[in-house]
């Protein structure tokens, strides 16, 4: 039996981990690159601004852009206060009792539920029982429940990562619990909290099954209100791909990816600016 030294074992582990990372990045780059290479050449102002024709096989995707933005903004406005609030409660106001364990178990359980189950739940509760119909508000309420576990867990981890000395120093200066959270904890954890929200935004933008079941996917008009039905870009891409209209499907998917990139880069730039100003102010 061959005995490996500690240094050799460490090198093998590093090579193995690096290989996995390179493989995953390669697959991701291949998928994104294929979509962008096939989709970007067909992106133009007409495609972005025109109404779809022939059930989406021709024309543009303007109504789907509006529907995607309305659904995402509404879902985030609903989910963020509850998700971040729950994270603050778990990280700052509990001592690890049974209530904390129940909340964490519930969040982890929600994270593992398939999106189609959320869609069926949304149809039964929001569309049928509450009478909201197939609408943007039904879709947003359903999707907001879907992204709650992500926001709760990432926000809680960001808050728990703040060194305890920050809290102790704030308390020693006579600050209250809320002042400590607002002035010492939140600015340090803000990047992690925002990253959790961005993950939620990405899931809102890319969700199909739950949105099709609650928001409807057959209406290709511009939504006039949150009570209107509509179609998101992800649903539009799915339907076009299913029907074999691959050029428009690739173009829609490319716009979807670019939109997610813009949201990520823009949000991180704003957070960097906020942290930079706060650091200069502290000096």
CA dist., res. 83 & res. 63, Å (int) = 29
CATH of residue 106: 1.10.3720.10
Is there a domain that residue 204 lies in?
yes
In the chain, % of residues over pLDDT 70: 96
Say which DSSP state 5 is in.
P
Six-digit token string for 268 = 């991180």
What are the pLDDT digits (tens) for 167-186? Answer: 888 888 888 888 999 888 98
pTM to 2 decimals?
Answer: 0.85
Give the per-residue pLDDT at 77. 94
pLDDT above 70 for 54: yes
- Report how far Cα 199 is from the mean position of its chain's Cα atoms: 3
Range of the domain at 202: 57-275
pLDDT above 90 for 282: no
Say which DSSP state 4 is in.
P
Is there a domain that residue 124 lies in?
yes
State the Cα torsion 30-34-40-42 to the nearest 10°. Answer: 180
Across the range 213-231, mean pLDDT stands at: 85
Q: Please tell me the least confidently modeled range out of 5-9, 209-213, 244-248, 278-282.
A: 278-282
CA dist., res. 214 & res. 140, Å (int) = 9
Which of 202, 230, 235, 259 shows the shortest CA–CA distance to 75?
Answer: 202
In the chain, % of residues over pLDDT 90: 33
Is there a domain that residue 280 lies in?
no
CA dist., res. 83 & res. 173, Å (int) = 30
Across the range 257-272, mean pLDDT stands at: 84
Give the per-residue pLDDT at 147. 92
Q: Please tell me the least confidently modeled range out of 110-114, 177-181, 194-198.
A: 110-114
pLDDT band at 271 (very low <50, low <70, confident <90, very high): confident
What are the pLDDT digits (tens) for 134-146? Answer: 999 999 999 999 9
Six-digit token string for 161 = 């990562």
Burial call 48-62: b when 16+ CB within 10 Å, e when fewer: eeeebeeebeebbbb
What total of structural domains would you count in the chain?
1
Give the per-residue pLDDT at 71. 93
Q: What contacts 24+ positions apart, CB below 8 Å, involve 246-251?
A: 246/38, 247/38, 247/42, 248/42, 248/56, 248/57, 248/61, 250/35, 250/38, 250/39, 250/42, 251/39, 251/42, 251/43, 251/47
Is there a domain that residue 134 lies in?
yes
Is there a domain that residue 271 lies in?
yes
């Amino acid at each position: 039996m061959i005995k490996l030294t500690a240094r050799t074992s460490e090198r093998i582990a590093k090579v193995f981990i690096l290989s996995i990372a390179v493989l995953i990045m390669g697959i991701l780059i291949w998928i994104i690159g294929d979509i962008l290479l096939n989709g970007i050449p067909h992106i133009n102002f007409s495609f972005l601004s025109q109404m779809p024709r022939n059930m989406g096989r021709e024309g543009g995707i303007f109504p789907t852009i509006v529907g995607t933005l309305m659904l995402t903004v509404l879902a985030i406005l609903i989910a963020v206060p509850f998700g971040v609030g729950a994270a603050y409660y778990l990280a700052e106001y509990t001592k690890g009792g049974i209530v904390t364990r129940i909340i964490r178990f519930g969040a982890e359980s929600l994270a593992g539920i398939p999106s189609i189950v959320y869609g069926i739940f949304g149809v039964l509760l929001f569309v049928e029982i509450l009478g909201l119909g197939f609408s943007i508000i039904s879709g947003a309420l359903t999707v907001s429940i879907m992204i709650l576990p992500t926001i709760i867990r990432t926000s809680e981890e960001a808050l728990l990562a703040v060194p305890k000395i920050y809290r102790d120093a704030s308390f020693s200066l006579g600050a209250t619990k809320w002042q400590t959270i607002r002035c010492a904890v939140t600015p340090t954890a803000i990047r992690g909290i925002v990253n959790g929200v961005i993950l939620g935004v990405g899931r809102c933008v890319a969700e199909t099954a739950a949105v099709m079941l609650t928001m409807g996917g057959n209406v290709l008009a511009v939504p006039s209100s949150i009570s209107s039905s509509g179609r998101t870009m992800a649903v539009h891409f799915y339907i076009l791909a299913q029907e074999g209209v691959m050029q428009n499907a690739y173009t829609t998917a490319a716009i979807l990816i670019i939109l997610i990139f813009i949201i990520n880069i823009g949000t991180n730039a704003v957070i960097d600016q906020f942290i930079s100003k706060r650091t200069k102010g502290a000096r």
